Amino acid sequence: MGKIKGAIVINEERCKGCDLCAVACPLHLIAPSGKVNHRGYPYVVQDDAEGRCTGCTACAIVCPDGCISVYRVKSE
């Protein structure tokens, strides 16, 4: 039986940096990037080099602007 891994894609140009996704992530895998997008908002990035994301979708559910897409992949 394989393990489910997740990956998120954040639309950095639409993100307003509200950090609701960072608060909602149970594994604390989303963090401020320290940069601003073309609209002047500080956006967030996925901080998951170890591949710990489970694809729970909590971040996407709370995003008020729909900037996050979550993908789930079954690894062997």
pLDDT in tens, 7-36: 899 999 999 999 999 999 999 999 999 999
pLDDT in tens, 40-73: 999 999 988 788 999 999 999 999 999 999 999 8
User: Which residue in the block uniquely carries the two structure tokens 């170890």?
Assistant: 50
pTM: 0.86
**Rounded percentage of the chain residues whose pLDDT exceeds 70:** 97
- Are 6 and 73 in contact by the 8 Å Cβ rule? The answer is yes
CATH no. for 3-75:
3.30.70.20
